[in-house]
Chain A
Amino acid sequence: MTQTVHTDGPVKKIVTGIPGFDAISMGGLPKGRTTLVTGTAGSSKTIMAVQFLIHGMQKYDEPGVFVTFEETPIDIRRNVGSFGWNLEQYSNEGRLAFVDGSPEPGQSTVETGNYDFSALLARIESAVKKVGAQRVAIDSVSALFSQFADAGVVRRELFRLAAGLKQMGVTSLLTAERLQEYGDIARFGVEEFVADNVIVLRNVLEQERRRRTIEILKYRGSAHQKGEFPFTISPDGIAILPLSAMELTQKSSNVRISSGNEELDRMCSGGYYRDSVILVSGATGTGKTLMVTTFLDNGSKCGEKTLVFAFEESREQLLRNAIGWSIDFRKWEEKGLLKILCQYPETLGLEDHLLWMKKEIENFGPTRVALDSLSALERVSSVKSFREFVIALTAHLKAKETAGLFTATTVSLMGGTSITETHISSITDSIILLRYVELMGEMRRGITVLKMRGSWHDKAIREFEIDDKGMHIGRAFHAVSGILAGTPTRLVLAEQERMGEMFQRK
């Protein structure tokens, strides 16, 4: 993002600076052209329009002009102040100019005879000249239709406006309202007049939760990513999560780190990979949080920074759990080697959780991150956005060469897979299963390394016990089958021998 102009075929683009947008648009907005941004009420059109200008002024030294037909400049300044955008300051510095076309309340207006928007064009042109603007945002043209009675004239004049903007050589972003999330592109057929490039912002209610997406519908003569991309309104404005646009370019590390349990390390032939993401799946009470705890403890012992996101238990509970296994989390916290962050899954949407987590990881800089549990997060989202969330988080961890340990809770006590597992097993590098094994009227526990990408691992299902020192992995279950299926059966010796022969004989 160091250059301002990208060459991409015949159409040049200018980098907007809106996080993620330049990735999905493959370089930004078409330079010197008008792009229409449509969306329903509350789909963050105005924020995007302002942000387009803000980044231009902040990062690329490109002054801007904001034309408003809906809210007054005062309202806009106030509304975007919460993002830390000080529009007044830019205005004072002569880098931002407003063209105010907001309706004057209480003023009677009569129309008689022909008119055009030459005055508007003249004002925009004068503002562009005054600040040397390269970016123009217009919000929203739909409001013009309520200010003027003759929709035909407004359409004709919008067409002239788009042509005028092109002549001025500015890159412009024009917003328009639409009535439905999936329907006509914009009200009043606005898109027909500035149809070169169309972006749609959506704000869909999905499982009682708002999910915002952005889609580049049309980018004439220019490449772009297709489909809807989730975005969120962060404290810094719009942030798009270009999940499908992400490339698998992560480096892979051969360095091993300890799980905190020697025997488990042996089962994994020397520990987890430094930059791998491990999924630990098991029913409630099988020892998932214990694995998280020893994993983090081991990291801190090595002087590494570790971070845990807890969505099921509070900080106090985690500390108490740890003490129960003779691990002192408080000590690591005081030394600044451990950070425990707890949050209810329901407090935020997944996109916001992701943003929050990325920020915390960025700020703290841990080498090990644990998440307990993924299943809690899955409850508050759809399958698609959950998968996207895990992919994005995984990619973020890998880019930072950070080890990630995620836990997933299986629904049934015996055997079975967790829903979480089914959806993301292909994303994680390693999968460790913790299972209850009912044998001869006793509940025992088994552990197995189901998958470990790029490494040999123990294929056996080993029994383990938990006491006040933590997890102790013992021998493999002998002459028992059906553990993972949830129906452990003891094989009679004779039968076992027969089966052995079956495979030896060939």
Chain B
Amino acid sequence: MKYVLKLYITGQTPASIRALENLKRIMAEELSQEYHLEVIDVLEDPVLAEDEKIIATPTLVKSLPPPLARIIGDLSNREKVLLGLDVVSNRKEVRQ
């Protein structure tokens, strides 16, 4: 199933940029399949944040595949991001 992700940020802050970079790198390295990523700037569109009850930014929301999950922070810890996304690491599989 295709991954559907939403990344909520507030403006182009260092944390926002870092989160986006981290995410793209992790996805490229760990996920072989395609994914859909939408970046939502809460400052520009607070209503979208309202729907998802976003309090903290950056927040990554994985809507598909289920279950719904969210990862809060700049995504600097690869293991935690993978855990949150429920992605089995490619590398680990290779190693095994």
Q: Chain B residues with Cβ under 8 A from A122's Cβ? A: 10, 42-43, 46, 49
- A107-B68, A108-B69 known; A113 vs B76 contact (CB < 8 Å): yes
**Structural contact, A119 and B74, CB atoms closer than 8 A:** no
| Known contacts A109-B69, A114-B74; A101 and B53 CB within 8 A of each other | yes
What chain B residues lie within 8 Å of A111 (beta carbons)? Answer: 71-73, 80
- Residue B54 interfacial (CB < 8 Å): yes
Contact A115 B72 (CB under 8 A): yes
Chain A 107-141 interface 0/1 with B at a Cβ cutoff of 8 Å (1 = within):
11111111111111011011100000000000000
Binds A, one of B29-37, B55-63, B87-95: B55-63
Q: Which of A109, A126, A127, A144 contacts B70 (CB under 8 A)? A: A109
Give the CA-CA distance A268 to B59 in the complex, in Å. 80
B10 neighbours in A (Cβ, 8 Å): 118-119, 122
B47, CB-defined interface residue at 8 Å:
yes
Known: A118-B10, A119-B59. A113 touches B74 (CB 8 A): yes
- B57, B71, B76: the one contacting A118 at CB < 8 Å is B57
User: Could you tell me the distance between the alpha carbons of A275 and B67 in the complex, rounded to whole angstroms?
Assistant: 71
* Contacting pair A117 B46 (CB below 8 A): no
| Number of residues from A at the complex interface, CB < 8 A | 29
Interface centre among A108, A110, A119, by most chain B C-beta atoms within 10 angstroms, is A119
Residues of B within 8 A of A (CB-CB), count: 36
- How would residues 333 to 366 of chain A score, 1 for a CB under 8 Å from any chain B CB and 0 otherwise? 0000000000000000000000000000000000
B19, B43, B55, B72: most-surrounded residue (chain A CB, <10 A): B55
Please tell me if A102 contacts chain B, counting CB pairs below 8 Å: yes
In contact, B72 and A109 (Cβ under 8 angstroms)? yes
Q: Please name all residues of chain A whose beta carbon is closer than 8 Å to the beta carbon of B57 when the two chains form the complex.
A: 115-119
Q: Is the CB of A108 within 8 A of B84?
A: yes
* Contact status B84-A112, CB under 8 Å: yes
Q: Are the C-beta atoms of B46 and A126 separated by less than 8 Å?
A: yes
- CB-nearest residue of chain B to A108: B69
Q: Does B83 contact A (CB under 8 A)?
A: yes
Check if B56 sits within 8 Å of A119, measured CB to CB. Answer: yes
The answer, yes or no, to whether A99 is at the interface (CB within 8 Å) is: yes
Cα distance, A118 to B8, chains bound together (Å): 11
The answer, yes or no, to whether B12 is at the interface (CB within 8 Å) is: no
Q: Which residues of A contact B (CB under 8 A)?
A: 99-102, 104, 106-120, 122-123, 125-127, 144, 147-148, 157
Task: Other than A113-B18, A113-B73, A115-B74, give 9 A-B pairs with Cβ distance below 8 A.
Answer: A112-B75, A113-B15, A115-B56, A115-B58, A117-B56, A119-B10, A126-B47, A127-B46, A147-B55
10 pairs of residues in contact across A and B, judged by CB atoms under 8 Å: A108-B67, A109-B71, A110-B71, A112-B77, A113-B18, A115-B72, A116-B57, A119-B55, A122-B10, A123-B49
